[in-house]
Amino acid sequence: MGEQQNVKFPQETVDEYAALGVDLPALFSAGHLGTRMGVRIVEASAERVVGTMPVEGNTQPYGLLHGGASAVLAETLGSVGSMLHGGSSKIAVGVDLNCTHHRGVRSGLVTGVATPLHRGRSTATYEIVISDEAGRRVCSARLTCLLRDIDADDEARARPAQG
C-alpha cells in the first residue's frame, strides 16, 4: 500500500502481524494515493487513528483545500481503524463515505482524527474530524467499512515477496 514511517501502533498489534510475516507499518499506510497527496499516519489503533495532510498540492481551482482531498484523508484514516479492528484475518472495504465541509483552508496542514462509532463482526463505522492548524473543524466525515475474510489474493498482497 505504499511506505509509511514512524507510525505509532500498539505493540500487541505489531506482534500479531509480525508473527504472520506482515510488515504492519507498510500494510497500514496511506497507500499510493495518500502518499501522492502527502498523507501521513502518525498514530494508529482500532480506538483512534490520527493523520495529517498538507493543503498545498491538494487544492481546487480557487486555492481552497479540495473536498475530495478531505475525503481521501477521511477514508484512509477510517479504513486503517477498521482494518485494525478487524484484525489479521479480515480486510476492510469502504462501503459508505459521507463528508460535510465546514470551512475553507488555503494553507498549512490539516489533521484528521478517526474514532469508532460502531465496531461489529462484519462492519465498522468511524467518525473522522478534520481540523486546521488553529484547531477549527474543516470537515466532519463518517466511513462504514465491510469487514470480510482475507482470501489468497489478499494474503499475497500483504506479505513481502520472498526472494
Q: How wide is the angle at C-alpha 21 spanned by C-alphas 81 and 145, nearest 5°?
A: 25
Alpha-helical runs (H) found in the chain = 11-18, 24-27, 31-36, 67-86, 152-158
Integer distance in angstroms from the first to the last C-alpha of the chain?
Answer: 20
Identify the DSSP state of 25: H
Q: Active site residue: 3, 16, 75, 155, which one?
A: 75
Using an 8 Å Cβ cutoff, are 144 and 125 in contact?
Answer: yes
Using an 8 Å Cβ cutoff, are 133 and 53 in contact?
Answer: no
Instruction: Check if 75 is active-site.
Output: yes
Identify the DSSP state of 36: H
Active site residues: 75
